Structures are given as structure tokens and as C-alpha cells.
Amino acid sequence: MRADRFLRACSREPVDATPIWIMRQAGRYLPEYRKIREKHDILTICKTPELAAQVTLMPLKKFDLDAAILFADIMLPIEGMGVSFEIIESMGPVLECPLRSRQEVEALRVIVPEEDVPYVLKTIRLLREELEVPLIGFSGAPFTLATYLIEGRPSRDFSQTKRFMYTQPHIWQLLMDKLTQVILAYLKAQIHAGVQAVQLFDSWVGCLSPSDYRAHVLPYSKRIFEGLKGMGVPRIHFGMGTATLLELMREAGGDVIGVDWRIPLHQAWQRIGYDRAIQGNLDPAVLLGPQELIHKQAQAILEQASGRPGHVFNLGHGILLDTPPENVQHLVEFVHEASQR
């Protein structure tokens, strides 16, 4: 049952226990990963299929997780569009020349995944030969990728992005259209290579009002989810700080809606609708606390799910750097044991 648990939950089918995987489960909190990072930067790992596969498998060898997520970076397809960037430790992607003009947007290429990100597809094929649980592929969503292209680095207020969106709406549409084409092609290529589910990360969309989301984001995310319809894999739609956007995210699409810890899971599910699965939603910081707190908070989330088919347990965002690996072990074991049916 373990091999099917995650996919069955995504389809809202009965499972023997609630499945759990963790965003950024292959990352800096693992000592094994830090050893690899002493020798290789993150982009080198992403572009070396053997290394990327090795890192993807690390948490599966330590914890009884129900799915693996491809080790990659959301900026990888951006490089193929003709944009140079570097990833700064403890900061994230940084662009030397953020987008500002129509000419710069028009110059962006729509990638051919087999030519521009072949290493990602090779990593997927390597992993499918070894994994005993489903493999999740992913991409950044159009809005989240647009924020990096326009801001040039991670932002708190996304002022440049909103200025661009408000003052140059026709260029914004052109940019979002190109990103939509790129993301759709990228995710389709991942599916053809072998991933068994895909997640669209709209990590920064929570900075928008519902009206701005509907006008400037929803149409593009919807095109991606509709374009993936019929490909036979669950489609997960995740955003941060989206308590005011849940109904709109449902409208945009996704078989599973991922929610963060800022809204109780049962309230989020009621608003999304029980005809969709839900993913979440433990605060990542809880894993920095004592075992008793982890169990208490996880139990509360399981009780809010009420045993209803369609719950995938996860954190509300990526696991934190200082998380003790033994706390991840406690969480995974507790979720399985407390939810056994």
C-alpha cells in the first residue's frame, strides 16, 4: 500500500494511513547533503543527474516518506529563456539585469525542454529506476518566476513586480504568456520522462489582493492546469500566504490544493471544496520544537482532516535549515501511526 498511498490520497481514494512528504525534504538540514554542498554548488548538483538523483534519494533512505520530490531549482528553465542568474547562499536567485522593458521581455525564448534542461529529464529517468514511491516533479508558477525576473532577487514587498504589473499591463501579459508556455512545456516533459505527480509552486502569490490575482495571475495558472489535464498525473497547486485566495486557486485549477499554516486545515478544505484533495499544513518551525509539540500539532491537523479521503500531510512551506533530522523521523512515524485505518 505504501507505494500507492500518496497517489491514492491525491485522487481522494481511501488509504491505510495518511501519506506524508515534506517540501525541501532533500536539503540543507541533512548532514549528507551538506557534505555534497562542500564540493558542489546547487546549480552544479541540479545539472549533474547522478548528483541530483543521489540528493533526491537521501531523505527516502532515512525516513519512511510516501513520495520523493525531484531535486531541482525553480530557476532552471529561466536560464534556457536567455536569463543569466546566480544562486547566492542564504539569499536565493539573483539576476544582474532584471526585466524592465518590452524589448527585454520580447527577447525571452520559449524553451525546448529536451534541449534546454536535458539534465532534469535524465535525473527523472535515473530516479524512476530506483524509487519505490512516486516521484513528484515541479515548476515555479508564472507569477512567482515573474517576481524573480523583475525584482532581480528575493523581495519582501514585490514593489517592482506590482509597478510592472500596474503600469505596463500589456508587457506583463506578454511576460506571463511566455512563462506559461515555458512552464507547461517543462512540466509536460517531466511527465513524459516519468514523474508521477507535479506541483506548481506559487510561493509569493500571497502578496496579491484577490482582485489582482483574478486579473493578473489566475488566467495563466489556469492555462497550465488545463494543459496538463488528461496526462494521468495528480496536479498540486501550492501557494504561500493564500488564505484570501483559496477559492480563486481552486478556480485556477489543481487536483490537490496545498495550504500553509496560517489557516486551519479544516477551514481551508471547507472553502476549497471536498471535491479536491488538500495538502498541508504544519508550520515548519514546529519541527524546531520538542517531540511533544510536534505530536500535538500533527495530531491537531489529522483531527481537522477528520479521516476524510484526500489529505496529504506536509509542511506549510519548505523545511527549515536548522531542523533536527530526528524530528523529521518523529513526525513521519507519528503521522503514519496516528492515522492508521
User: Is 148 one of the catalytic residues?
Assistant: yes
Written as nine digits, the cell of 323 is 531542523
User: Is 250 one of the catalytic residues?
Assistant: no
Q: Which of 24, 223, 235, 276 is catalytic?
A: 24
Cβ-based burial of 16 (10 A; exposed 0-12, middle 13-18, buried ≥19): middle
Chain-centroid distance of CA 119 in Å reads 19
Distance CA 261, CA 281 (A): 5
Q: Cα dist. 203→112, 140, 207 in Å? A: 25, 8, 10
User: Is 37 one of the catalytic residues?
Assistant: yes
Strands 135-140, 92-95: parallel, antiparallel or unpaired by DSSP? unpaired
Q: Which of 2, 37, 214, 262 is catalytic?
A: 37
Q: Which of 8, 12, 73, 213 is catalytic?
A: 73
The sign of the CA dihedral 191, 194, 197, 199 is negative
User: Is 274 one of the catalytic residues?
Assistant: no
Q: Which of 148, 186, 213, 220 is catalytic?
A: 148
User: Is 28 one of the catalytic residues?
Assistant: yes
Q: Which of 2, 28, 100, 153 is catalytic?
A: 28
List residues with catalytic annotation: 24, 28, 37, 73, 148
